[in-house]
Chains A and B, each alone.
Chain A
């Protein structure tokens, strides 16, 4: 059975905005389309930026990547602001329950001896790395071109701040809110030899000029290797050594990476498919940064997981690069 409520039907004059109609035809548009396409100002800027007078305010030449249409970078998740925050709110609700349960049952006390020290040494320093990722994605957001890619970079940047905060909370659970574990982890990040390579690489990334290169270095190469080492292999090691409950506190990062990879893989694929020049450039950046980051992570990976760990992570990265159409 269906019931039908009679409503007054008025014939609309048009289905959507004219620029959406020019792109997708005269039909009702999605909220993602209306919120994204052609929203950014394209032409006739009034003044050159004092901080970069050789460029326009919105200028596609801030990267060497060239696109005929910067709105080709459709986000497969179709995140506009509303869709983004609602999706993340669901994830945070789960995380909140997990953290509350973990604390209520005092699961930290159930960890095997010495486990807390390992978490402080290997996991908590990542909060600084996430802070670097926040800066790098904000860089791509502010120097990037077109709403499609820049809004996704902004969402990523905010996500990284959120992840840094979740990692910090793991530390606060360990130290009973004194902040001592965060201080200890920061010491490791600042001084411990195994962290210095990757800290140097992150600092170098932060001063890299081409925003698309920054995106490739951070969101493609470093994120993939880091995820494989810490949230796949180290996570496995924790499980194998009686610390599987920590997984409740890193579930957010696991789910996030899956979600984020859909976007960054699509972005890489679209940029590479645009031209052989783009593809060559992306391959150069990926190769250069893969070398830098692998070298940087090598002592950390070896000490944390053993000598095969990095190679395993690299092969996961290679698979994703192949899927995006690089090195073929």
Chain B
């Protein structure tokens, strides 16, 4: 009888042992990017495989998941599943997802493929390759899940073209460009750890829970199907951080700097989720503030306690963000509401019930600072003067969000920071974004800031309308403007037989 192999030994023989020491070329030429970031890897063999999945099992499990998922997609479209969503406004959250988030899955595929080739350790490499192919799965299944919505609603149709150009989509795009442009270890701390491990419950989960609460069977089924992939990605993210910290003490300050940076970059990116949860979901899951408290303050807090033994501290500006949870969703939806003519999805004033819900969830801030704005917007709308701003916003050079965030200790004062680099002045929305720029100005002076580009004439024109219709390829009057009176709304009423 052959002896039984335990999973660890089996995985070692089937994966780790495939590698060999090069004799005929310099190993550094094969893995050239391992040193320039200053990270010291003394022994790749100390890498603990976060999951031990051989390819035969991978094909088998994933194929079973895909088969079920596509059966649901087929049933969904055969039965016009889009008619079961809670309210047509919900679909705008999906538009934001397909144009803003799915292309990030694609960039994650590219980024993990890159490190899945470039890491010298076979264990880390193979784990990254599996994440690469999972991420490709996610972008493709999302495209397929949204395919049916695209047939019945406006704003999905040019998601890829829009992602490369549209002003607010440069926020998520530049986030991932930043991570991919970094070295392989920073990429792993940025995406594998900060994004996939620390923040995934605040991005992936809210969208999928939103789908569950709003009758969107296609998206929520994707969510369930991707759950076990996400769990694998989280274990990889955690292994990366532990491995880097255990390899060499000199790695600790570098990793800390990256955690500080990517935590801040990540929370800025999550602004869109905050606004989605508080304003775009007709059936609410929980408020952004509640989500932040559960998934970051509690879960993240215990994680950082765990990492303290390596000398890792809570990310810089965690206290600022604790204050921001009271404000960002309101400030962000206001930006989109007032720029609703330039957005690729519909915006609206929250209903009275929703305003009450926000008052209840944000007792310290909503009535004091934000409700009066919506009351004013309602009055103006009632007079036929729905407000759209004529101006293009100034963007933060780092996160690229319009400079609409306030000082967190004084929500009536917009926050402005700036730095001068080589004679030019750059503007920031926060101390966090300014710090990131000051640390790597050569990188961030390259930012392709959509508003600057429009003013420089690089996006067509001469009017904003031309930029929107010709350069962004928005169908004006269909994709943009208020939900009220939109073709989406008219069609919905027709389908439902209401006036």
Residues of A in contact with B (beta carbons under 8 Å apart): 7-8, 10, 12-19, 21, 31, 34-35, 38-51, 57-58, 80-82, 85-86, 88-89, 91-93, 95-96, 103, 127-128, 130-131, 134-135, 138-139, 141-142, 147, 150-151, 154-155, 157-159, 161-162, 164-166, 168-169, 172-173, 176-179, 182, 186, 189-190, 199-200, 203-204, 206-207
- Decide: A17 and B150 in contact? CB cutoff 8 A: yes
- Decide: A177 and B141 in contact? CB cutoff 8 A: no
- Bound state CA distance, A283 and B160, in angstroms? 36
Which of A12, A93, A135, A169 counts the most B-chain CB atoms under 10 A from its CB? A135
Q: Give every chain B residue within 8 A of A206 (Cβ-Cβ).
A: 22, 25, 30
Is there a chain A Cβ closer than 8 Å to B386's Cβ? no
Is there a chain A Cβ closer than 8 Å to B412's Cβ? no
Which of A46, A141, A162 counts the most B-chain CB atoms under 10 A from its CB? A46
Q: Give every chain B residue within 8 A of A82 (Cβ-Cβ).
A: 66, 69-70, 137, 140-141, 144
- 11 additional contacts, CB 8 Å, given A34-B147, A46-B174? A13-B153, A17-B158, A18-B157, A18-B473, A38-B160, A39-B139, A47-B178, A142-B118, A165-B55, A168-B13, A206-B25
Residues of B in contact with A (beta carbons under 8 Å apart): 1-5, 9, 13-15, 17-26, 29-30, 32-33, 36, 54-56, 58-60, 62-64, 66-67, 69-70, 78-80, 103, 106-107, 109-110, 113-114, 116-118, 122, 125-126, 129-130, 132-133, 136-137, 139-141, 143-144, 147, 150-154, 156-161, 163-165, 170, 173-174, 177-178, 180-184, 443-444, 446-448, 453, 473, 487, 491, 495
B69 to chain A, nearest CB (A): 8
Q: Tell which of B17, B21, B62, B487 touches A182, judged by Cβ atoms closer than 8 Å.
A: B17
- Decide: B113 and A45 in contact? CB cutoff 8 A: no
Q: Give every chain B residue within 8 A of A186 (Cβ-Cβ).
A: 17, 20
Q: List 7 A-B contacts (CB under 8 A).
A: A10-B495, A41-B107, A41-B163, A86-B63, A127-B18, A161-B126, A177-B4
Q: A18-B473, A47-B178, A86-B66 are in contact. Are A190 and B20 (CB under 8 A)?
A: yes
- Bound state CA distance, A5 and B66, in angstroms? 27
- Decide: A199 and B36 in contact? CB cutoff 8 A: no
Closest to A89 in B: B63
Number of A-B residue pairs, CB cutoff 8 Å, is 252
Q: A127-B18, A182-B13 are in contact. Are A142 and B139 (CB under 8 A)?
A: no
Q: A85-B62, A95-B56, A172-B5 are in contact. Are A49 and B181 (CB under 8 A)?
A: yes
- Bound state CA distance, A204 and B58, in angstroms? 30
Which of A138, A172, A182, A200 counts the most B-chain CB atoms under 10 A from its CB? A138
- Decide: B5 and A177 in contact? CB cutoff 8 A: yes
Q: Tell which of A44, A80, A159, A207 touches B140, judged by Cβ atoms closer than 8 Å.
A: A80
Q: Give every chain B residue within 8 A of A16 (Cβ-Cβ).
A: 147, 150-151
- Bound state CA distance, A35 and B55, in angstroms? 23
- Bound state CA distance, A141 and B33, in angstroms? 17
Closest 3 CB pairs of A and B: A162-B55, A89-B63, A12-B151
- Bound state CA distance, A82 and B67, in angstroms? 8
- Decide: B143 and A35 in contact? CB cutoff 8 A: yes
- Decide: A128 and B18 in contact? CB cutoff 8 A: yes
Q: Tell which of B5, B20, B69, B156 touches A189, judged by Cβ atoms closer than 8 Å.
A: B20
- Bound state CA distance, A172 and B150, in angstroms? 51
- Decide: B36 and A142 in contact? CB cutoff 8 A: no
Q: A41-B163, A47-B181, A204-B24 are in contact. Are A138 and B117 (CB under 8 A)?
A: yes
A146 to chain B, nearest CB (A): 12
- Decide: A14 and B157 in contact? CB cutoff 8 A: yes
Q: A34-B147, A44-B164 are in contact. Are A92 and B25 (CB under 8 A)?
A: no
- Decide: A178 and B136 in contact? CB cutoff 8 A: no
Q: Tell which of A10, A44, A207 touches B448, judged by Cβ atoms closer than 8 Å.
A: A44
- Bound state CA distance, A176 and B143, in angstroms? 46
- Decide: A35 and B80 in contact? CB cutoff 8 A: no
- Bound state CA distance, A238 and B254, in angstroms? 56
B167 to chain A, nearest CB (A): 12
A196 to chain B, nearest CB (A): 8
- Decide: A178 and B181 in contact? CB cutoff 8 A: no
- Decide: B150 and A142 in contact? CB cutoff 8 A: no
